[in-house]
Amino acid sequence: MKPSLKIICIACAIFLIACAQKEKLEEVNYRLKWLYNVSAVGDLYAETRGYFTRNGLKVNVKPGGPERDALKELELGHAHFGVASADQVLRAAAKGAPIVVLAQLFQVNPLHWIYRPDQTVFSGGEELKGKRIGVTFGGNDEAILRALLARYGIAESQVTLFSVRYDYTPFYEGRVDFWPLYLNAQAVIIAEKLEKAGETYAFLSPDRLGVRFVANSVVTTREMVEKRPETVKRFLTALLEGWRDALDPRNQDQAIQVLLDADRETPEAVVRKQLPVTRELMLPAARIEFGKIDAVAWKQTEAILRSQNLIPGSVDVESLLFTFK
């Protein structure tokens, strides 16, 4: 056989094997909570670096957004897996949505409040009294803030709540003492601006003040778990493995590149700062396993929502949290 013919035969064989493998892949949709950003780096890493394929899955990782609700898409059958915040999950569960939590992405909620320590004296929750605090009414920062106020016995009349939007001007101008932001996203950008202006800044962490409000988690439907357990298992295995590797400092450059390919709006310098912060929030201690579901924090989140009448009744948290036996 001529060498050129040999090469063509090998190429054809590889092509046929690839086609056969592709046919075998099970296709599922995975709806993220927000647009592609650092909070989805592991999802994108798992998708682009073949973690799902190796587990026999073709996963379409779709960006979320303000008008997207992964939980509704799950129920309507448009998505098989999704990312949702704990308050969304509990609200849905309280209204009978058949969902289960597979993994918890953040061990510490990235929602923090930024403040200027040289202008705002703050060393403990009690000192929130008398302060002007930014809050997104209706958002989960409102629930967290109200939980903080309740925890430290501060009445709403003892603080000034300032309605927050995308515009940070009120904080820059010093009209508000505390401004809510995501520690692994906007905080990096705002901090840089304040540093350039020669100002000091610090962050109020609700978690450190005793309010453990769960953030993003990976969810699916009960039907998926019951009827396609193998698919769920393979998806979760691939996803967690992808996340672990994306957060591994040794793979930092590859993880950043994967994210930059998907999110062309955020400069590389910003992503480089965001990734280590994200790692800290997802793996706050070396011994913590990525994706661990913190049942105590879930119960506290449920209690917060219930105490603020944000859910109509109590939710059986244990039945929501799924673990493979």
Partner 1 sequence: MLHRRIYQFLIIYAIGLGLLLALKYGLNLSDYVIPSPDEIVRTCRTYGGPYLLAVLNTLAVAVLGHILSICLATVVAVIGRLTAWIGSFIRTAAYNIQAYPIVAVAPIIFILLGDGLQSRLLIAAMICYFPLLLSFIGVFSEPIREIEHFYESTGRMTWRLQVKIRAFENIQKLTTVIVGSATMAMVGTIVAEFIAATAGIGYSIRIALYQSDLAKILVALFLIGVGTSLYLVSLEWAGNALQKRLKSL
Is 277 in contact with 192 (CB distance < 8 Å)? no
Confirm or reject binding of residue 88 to partner 1 (CB under 8 A): yes
Only one of the segments 94-102, 122-130, 206-214, 246-254 lies at the binding site for partner 1 (rule: CB under 8 A); that segment is 94-102
For 115, phi then psi, to 5°, come to: -150, 170
Closest approach of partner 1 to the CB of residue 169, in Å? 6
Is 141 in contact with 180 (CB distance < 8 Å)? yes
Confirm or reject binding of residue 92 to partner 1 (CB under 8 A): yes
Q: Which of 100, 98, 83, 79 minimizes the C-alpha distance to 27? A: 79
Q: Which of residues 184-243 bind partner 1 (CB under 8 A)?
A: none
Residue count, binding to partner 1 (CB under 8 A): 23
Confirm or reject binding of residue 33 to partner 1 (CB under 8 A): no
Site map 130..169 versus partner 1, x via CB under 8 A? ------xxxx-----------------------x-xxx-x
CA distances from 186 to 38, 56, 57 (A): 11, 36, 33
Confirm or reject binding of residue 71 to partner 1 (CB under 8 A): yes
Confirm or reject binding of residue 173 to partner 1 (CB under 8 A): no
Confirm or reject binding of residue 91 to partner 1 (CB under 8 A): yes
Using N-to-C axis directions, what is the helix angle for 186-196 and 268-282, rounded to 10°? 120
Q: Which helix (H) or strand (E) holds 179?
A: strand 179-182
Taking the CA of residue 84 as centre, how many other CA atoms within 13 Å lie in the half-sphere pointing to its CB? Answer: 26
With H, G, I as helix, E, B as strand and everything else as coil, classify residue 170: helix
Distance CA 111, CA 206 (A): 8
Comparing CB distances to partner 1, the nearer of 46 and 92 is: 92
Confirm or reject binding of residue 76 to partner 1 (CB under 8 A): yes
Q: Which of 44, 92, 95, 47 minimizes the C-alpha distance to 70? A: 92
Distance CA 107, CA 217 (A): 10
Comparing CB distances to partner 1, the nearer of 59 and 159 is: 159
Site map 253..292 versus partner 1, x via CB under 8 A? ----------------------------------------
Question: Using the 8-state DSSP alphabet, how is residue 202 labeled?
Answer: E
With H, G, I as helix, E, B as strand and everything else as coil, classify residue 47: helix
Q: Which of 34, 35, 75, 120 binds partner 1 (CB under 8 A)?
A: 75
Closest approach of partner 1 to the CB of residue 10, in Å? 50
**In the block, residue with structure tokens 């690839």:** 18
Closest approach of partner 1 to the CB of residue 56, in Å? 29
Closest approach of partner 1 to the CB of residue 99, in Å? 9
Q: Which of 69, 207, 245, 294 binds partner 1 (CB under 8 A)?
A: 69
Chain residues binding partner 1 by CB under 8 A are 66, 69, 71-72, 75-76, 88, 91-92, 95-98, 136-139, 163, 165-167, 169, 310
